[in-house]
Amino acid sequence: MDTYSHGGIPNKSGRDPVLKDAKVLFIVGGPGSGKGTQCAKIVEKFGFCHLSSGDLLREEVASGSERGAKLKDVMARGELVSMDDVLQLMCDAMKKKISETKCFLIDGYPRELEQGTRFEKEIVPCVGVLYFDVSDETMTSRLLKRGETSGRVDDNEETIKKRLQTFHNQTKPVIDYYSQQDKVCKIPAEGSEKDIFAEVEKYVSSHKW
Ligand code: B4P
């Protein structure tokens, strides 16, 4: 029986055969912790494929679809969108790129524990987790600065507060879970982009890709 009938995500146990050899680094951190910024640098240096869950969701919103309109409302509230939506978008995006790269930076995902366990069960286990550790004050000031020009529905003071709460309540358990498996590399990320990348580079270079 075909267990991959939902657009590639297995509906029973077992993994998607197309992605079973993919190598994956989860990139986590609070809103504005520098995930996207550092991923761009990793891509430049190591040629990995960067997939940001936030970007995939914003693309869906921009497409004008009915699903996109619902996603926009959830994002504007600073809440997490449905796990099925984000996992499906991620799986489809990985399949488009698997022939070009075997190393994926999965940015902004998992944001809640079940996102991680489902991804690993249905797609592939992660190699490790890069966690950008930044204070709420720094994240807030970075996002308010970005909000001056980004036009994003979530880069405003009220939504940023909610996004930080969501991060502490829902994403911190992800970090605890993978720390117990010794898979987390915690990067202090208050400093300059260049100094932070020096630490990122050490970690990425320490693996065989
Ligand atoms: P994201 O798009 O992931 O938004 P983000 O947390 O702000 O991260 P981003 O990568 O954009 O910013 P970065 O830290 O690099 O998510 C947006 C929303 O989508 C979520 O709230 C949620 O609703 C939804 N969503 C996303 N993923 C989901 C999932 N898996 N499940 C459910 N819902 C999901 O950079 C921020 C700013 O800081 C930039 O302006 C940058 O220039 C600046 N900056 C970075 N590093 C700096 C440094 N070292 N010094 C100074 N400034 C720096």
Q: How confident is the model at residue 209 (pLDDT cuts 50, 70, 90)?
A: confident
Q: What is the pLDDT of residues 147-193, one digit of tens each?
A: 999 999 999 999 999 999 999 999 999 999 999 999 999 999 999 99
The CATH number, out of the four listed (1.20.210.10, 1.10.3720.10, 3.40.50.300, 3.40.50.720), of the domain defined by the range 22-204: 3.40.50.300
Structure tokens at 4: 């991959």
Q: Report the nearest atom of ligand 1 relative to the CA of 107.
A: 3
Structure tokens at 122: 């249905």
Asked if pLDDT for residue 16 goes beyond 90, the answer is no
> What's the CA angle centered on 135, arms 132 and 139, to 5 degrees?
80
Q: What is the pLDDT of residue 14?
A: 67
Place of tokens 């690993």: 120
Query: Does the beta carbon of 109 lie inside 6 Å of ligand 1?
Result: yes
Say how many Å lie between the CA of residue 20 and the centre of ligand 1: 28
Asked if pLDDT for residue 10 goes beyond 70, the answer is no
Q: What is the pLDDT of residues 18-72, one digit of tens each?
A: 999 999 999 999 999 999 999 999 999 999 999 999 999 999 999 999 999 999 9
What single-letter amino acid sits at 191?
G
Q: What is the pLDDT of residue 102?
A: 82
